[in-house]
Chains A and B, each alone.
Chain A
Amino acid sequence: MEAFFFYLFASLAVATALAVVFPPMRGARAPIHSAIALVACFFCVAATYAMLQAHLLAVLQVLVYAGAIMVLFIFVIMLLNLQTDETARTEVGFVKVLSGLLVLATTAGVIGFLRNDDVLLPISKQLVAQVAHPETYGSIEEIGKLMLSEYLFAFELTSILLLASIVGAVVIAKRDPRSTFMPEALKQQLYRERHGKSASGRKGGA
């Protein structure tokens, strides 16, 4: 039963992931189709997480990825609003095939260089970390406990990473009157509108 659902969701995840990269229909709508396929892919991955007892992760996958991040993706797609001619796919050329093969060869080479006899041994046999987990493993409580006690520093550090990201996102996406190509007259008008006084006396305009 478990194996059945695993193979079901795993193969669905792979299929939808492929549909993201190769949307079934070309043209202006292809990016949206890719995005929808990505949502489906996120759901399948979430189901796989749930089967691995990572319940909280499964919920977050749906909440954050299929919810919030997809909204961002859709916004970006609408922001760019690519026309048909812009989405025309470049042909798979010799160079691309070559570079793909090169990547595969490099990977194989690196693994081969670390030569050992059991490369082909099933990975499951090499696992030692097969710890018996209690029923509550992966629940919100268990993860919360780890987060608030053992990984307390990583947890607090996350907020600093988020803060840096907020500052970064605003710098990248916010149009600042002081750093764009706006003509001086328009800039002053904008300044007056926002601050209700003349901007003529200020320094460091641009």
Chain B
Amino acid sequence: MYEQYITLGILAAVAVVTGAAILFLNSILGPKRWTASKLDTFETGNEPEGDARQRFSIRFYLVAILFILFDIEVVFLFPWAVLYRQYIAAGLGLFVFIEMLVFISILGVGLAYVWRKGALEWD
């Protein structure tokens, strides 16, 4: 039953092992000669000022949340796309097509709203 996950497990294991191995090998094999100037923050030759951790603009948040909402929309498209041929074969192609059309049109209203509102702009 879970055969298909074995490959996934192997992939995950290889990925983790490779990543960890590179980091580990680098830390033991790489030569380390620290000097004051090498450890200094390099910023176009100027003395660094202030904290590197600035507060992000809320615009990132808006973009991220809109991304999630439309991402979820795409998730719903996925099973529909997988099944569409079967539905056509069963003579329900048009029905299922309209079903998805309604779904996408409703979110199309959302896209039109977001677009016109300027929420996708970086003003």
Contacts and interface: CB of A to CB of B under 8 A. Distances in A.
Interface residues of B, number: 45
B74 to A, nearest CB: 9
A165 B73 CA distance: 12
Contact of B99 (A56, A67, A76, A156): A156
- Could you tell me the dominant secondary structure of chain B's interface residues? helix
A169 interface: yes
B58 A60 contact: no
Contacts of A169: 62, 65-66, 69
A28 interface: yes
Contacts of B107: 159, 162-163, 166
B54 A81 contact: yes
Contacts of A64: 68, 71-72, 75
Contacts of A56: 79
Main SS of the interface on chain A?
helix
Interface in B66-121: 66-69, 71-73, 75-76, 78-80, 82-83, 86-87, 96, 99, 102-104, 106-107, 109-110, 113-114, 117-119
B60 interface: yes
B83 A141 contact: yes
A123 interface: no
B34 interface: no
A71 B65 CA distance: 9
A148 interface: yes
Given A159-B107, A170-B113, A72 B64 contact: yes
Contacts of B104: 159
A78 interface: yes
B78 A159 contact: no
Contacts of B66: 166, 169-170
Contact of B110 (A140, A145, A155, A166): A166
A158 interface: yes
Contacts of A79: 55-58, 60-61
B78 A51 contact: no
A186 interface: no
A170 B114 contact: yes
Contacts of A95: none
A46 B109 CA distance: 33
B99 to A, nearest CB: 6
Contact of A28 (B53, B86, B103, B109): B53
A51 B78 CA distance: 21
A126 B31 CA distance: 64
Given A64-B75, A71-B67, A72-B68, 19 more contacts: A28-B53, A50-B2, A53-B1, A56-B79, A60-B75, A68-B68, A71-B64, A71-B68, A75-B60, A81-B54, A140-B78, A156-B106, A159-B103, A163-B107, A166-B69, A166-B107, A170-B119, A173-B65, A174-B62
